[in-house]
Every structure is written in structure tokens, then in C-alpha cells.
Amino acid sequence: MIQWLKDELNKREKSSLYRRLPSPTMQNLKVIASSNNYLGLAKDERVLHAAREMILKYGTGSTGSRLTTGNFDIHERLEKELAHFKGTEACLLYSSGYLANLGVITALADRDTIIYSDEYNHASIIDACRLSGACIIVYKHNDMIDLERKMREYKNHFKKLIVTDGVFSMDGDLAPLDQLNNLKEKYNALLIVDDAHGTGVIGSCGRGTSEHFSTKPDVIIGTLSKALGSEGGFVCSNKTIIHYLIQKSRPFIFQTSLSPGNIGAALKSLHIIQTEKRHVMLKEKANDMRHFLRTLNYSVPQGMTPIIPILLGEASVALQFQKKLLELGLFIPAIRPPSVPEHTSRLRCTLMFTHSDNEIDWIKQAFQSMAPDA
């Protein structure tokens, strides 16, 4: 009866695309250089303590949706602080970044909407666009000429969204928010930016990609699960859009609200981010690593984020690299299609503020021993 499932799995296995959960013992390796815990806050003593305090005061779970029994003062406090951090009027929490994307896009778009979506957008944006029932027009990655050509075609259409990652998760490059902002003004669209990987990391104060470009997208979506070392999602925007989401956004309306421990952790991390400027040193570490890898002839695109893709081509090659690195005590996962386009399989190396000099040297030595010219 389930032969077709087995056939599909066998097919995957043969093409090096089979997904396996990394062993939990990976957590005990000498170095992990692939975490989204960019600023090292997920294990910061102060963040752990803040989470614990909130759990003791409010409980382990929030036990209800925001519209029923799950609206606590700490939800509103975190929303206020995130709105302030991002420079917007208001904010709304979700229980993950994935659900924030789903919740915003399905609320703001319907069958009458045209969504312009970057071809490299995160899966949660792609899923959200599909679920909304809107007409989806995919434009070439960061290609403003292609986008404008496609926008011109429907310039009189009344409901249009442009949706993009702020920092692209598999390439680590930035969306040109200044140019996207010009296009959204010119063609009267709303600009939605998923800044999951930019928040806490990009911009002179770590406020994200919008700070870097000095722009104000209509909607900024974020996650608490990366630089903020917690879990949960959020949406920063003007009051009208936030009130609209409260009416219409099904993942917001029907989910149990964010748990107190996650809120405590996020509040503390937000404070640390704003006072310690960890992202500045992280950027230097990442620039140095990028430079080092390029001198070894690895194919590493230019960038300014802690996400360092090492392009290897075929999935089987990327898997071999992952395996060799594991033998050296280093975990950096191979990223393969469909997460990235065919023939662009890669290692996705990410650095953390808390990587010690020794750990950085370890990473460098590992790559040196496997270098194309070694």
C-alpha cells in the first residue's frame, strides 16, 4: 500500500537529497559553525535567568490565545519594546517566525492581490503566498530591473505586495531595501520584509536591514529564534496593519500565545543587543573568515552578515565536505536542493559572537586541510 512512499524515499536516497536528522551528539562536537544563535544569547547566563524568572512568575505555558486567556502584560511589554527597537508604531507577537510570515501574508493578500516575491525567499514566505490564493509573480533574485518590468505590467492593479527576505538565509546577502522602497512607492504597493536574519545583526545599532538602508518598509517580520536566542515571531508595522492582523490573521487568532520563558529571554536579549553591540565584533569575525576562505580558493560570495555560504556545486560534494568536517569535530551542514537551486549545494557556515579565537582557528584549520588547492 505504501510502496509509492518507499519508491520516493529510494529516489531521494540515490540523488543525495535524502534528509536525515543530525545526531543529537552533534551538540557535543568541538565546534558548531552553523547555528542561528548569532550573538550567543541562547546560552547567556542573564538570558537563562530572565527566562527562569518569567516561568516562575507566569508559568511554563500561557495556556490560551491572546484573544482569550493568553494576553499577559509581558506580551504587551515585549511588543512595545520590539516596536521601539524597529522604529514602528506597533508590533504583534506570533509563536514562530514561520507563523508570522504565514499570518501576515495570508491576512494581507487574497485572490485579488498580486504578490511580487523574490525567487530566493524563505520557504515560509513561499508557503504563505501560496496559501493566500494571491497571484504570485516571482522576480529574479534581487533583480530590480526584472521586478520593475513585472510591476509595470500590472501598474494599475489596486492590491499589490512586494515580499522579500531582508537577509537571505542561504546566501547571507541583503535585499536592496532602498531600491525596493522606491519601486513600492512608484507602483503603489506594500513592502513586506522578513528580517529573520537581519534583526540584531545588521545596521549600526543591530536594528536590522531597514536600519542599514535607512528605509521604513510597511511591514517588518522577525523571529526571536536567531540573534535573540529565544523562540517566537513578531511583526512590526503601523497601527492600522497591526489592528487588521488582530482581526484577520488566523495563526495569530487561533494559536496559544507565546510562552513566558520565551518572552523573558527575548526581553533580556533585546536589552543586551542594545547595550553591548555584539554585532559589530561579529561582523569583523565574519569578514575575516570570508577573506580567509577566499584566499584558499573556496567559492565564497562577498557579504556582510555572519552567514558564509561555501559553494560546492553538487549535493554529493557538499555531503562529502560535511562528513569530512564532522570527522574533524566540526558541524557545518550541507544545504542541498530544494533549499537552494540545483548545482549550488553548499556548506552554510555561520559564525557566532561567542566563538573563541581557538574555535575560529579550528574552523580555519579544518577548511585549510580540505582546501581545493591543498
Q: Which of 106, 301, 268 is nearest to 192 (CA)?
A: 106
Interface with ligand PMP includes 95 (CB under 6 A)?
Answer: no
Interface with ligand PMP includes 169 (CB under 6 A)?
Answer: yes
Residues in contact with ligand PMP, shown as a per-residue x/- string from 115 to 134 under the rule CB under 6 A: -------x-x----------
Q: Which residues pair with 115 in a beta bridge?
A: 136, 161
Q: How far is the CB of 259 from ligand PMP (least distance, A)?
A: 14
With a CB cutoff of 8 Å and minimum separation 6, the contacts of 343 are 313, 314
Using CA atoms, how far residue 151 sits from 68, 106, 266, in Å, is 41, 21, 38
Helices 97-108 and 239-248: crossing angle, nearest 10°? 90
Nearer residue to ligand PMP within complex by CB, 98 or 187: 98
Supply 173's cell numbers: 546577502
Interface with ligand PMP includes 348 (CB under 6 A)?
Answer: no
Q: How far is the CB of 232 from ligand PMP (least distance, A)?
A: 7
Residues in contact with ligand PMP, shown as a per-residue x/- string from 183 to 202 under the rule CB under 6 A: -----------x-xx-----
One-character DSSP codes across 83-121:
HHHHT-SEEEEES-HHHHHHHHHHHH--TT-EEEEETT-
| CA 307 – CA 283 distance, rounded (Å) | 10
Please select the residue that binds ligand PMP; options are 96, 249, 259, 344, rule is CB under 6 A: 96
DSSP code of 275?
H
Please select the residue that binds ligand PMP; options are 165, 171, 211, 218, rule is CB under 6 A: 165
Q: How far is the CB of 124 from ligand PMP (least distance, A)?
A: 5
Contacts (CB under 6 A) with ligand PMP, residues 210-249: 223, 225, 233
Interface with ligand PMP includes 97 (CB under 6 A)?
Answer: yes
Q: How far is the CB of 73 from ligand PMP (least distance, A)?
A: 23
Q: Which residues are catalytic?
A: 169, 197, 226
Q: E-strand spans in the chain?
A: 31-32, 90-94, 114-118, 135-139, 160-165, 190-194, 219-223, 233-237, 307-313, 330-331, 334-335, 345-350
Q: How far is the CB of 224 from ligand PMP (least distance, A)?
A: 7
List interacting residues with ligand PMP (CB under 6 A). 96-98, 101, 122, 124, 165, 169, 194, 196-197, 223, 225, 233
